[in-house]
Amino acid sequence: MDRQELENRTKHFHIEIIQLCLLLPKNNVGFEIGKQLIRSAGSVAANYRASKRAKSIADFIYKIEIVLEESDESLYWLQILQETVIVNDNRIYRLIREAHELTAIFSATTKTNLTFDICHLTYHNFSSSSTTPSLLKIKYPSLSLLMPSFS
């Protein structure tokens, strides 16, 4: 899966969450869960999209960590919906699976990037720019799918 496919996937996740939330009851519980769920799912899509414009590897890692937190929060609210049976719709199961998968993808990305960052701090001199993005993508292939090019 390339960056564009993952960007589309996170956007589609947000859209499906909005559609599910339209089925929530029009009361305090429905409004609160809907608000939290739409916000967290929207943050997954928006922050992943923003990660394309990261100014550095540290900025990229920061943005992906936000995406990870928000995908996990989306999973939490979906599980609350499932367990309370506030809305009875089969989409919940598919969305829970998707939230699990997105959380796993971004968790792996964060771990790969943090491992890289620790190695970079240990073995490279920050005053030189000897480690180029293309070198990073060869050494850490999972970054090539998600990491924007830094100039």
Task: Note the pLDDT tens digit of each residue in 76-105.
Answer: 999 999 999 999 889 999 999 999 999 999
Taken in order of first residue, the domains within the chain and their CATH numbers are: 3-146 (1.20.1440.60)
pTM for the whole thing?
A: 0.74
pLDDT at 58 over 70: yes
DSSP count for the chain of H helices, then E strands: 6, 0
The C-alpha atoms of residue 114 and residue 143 are separated, in whole angstroms, by 11
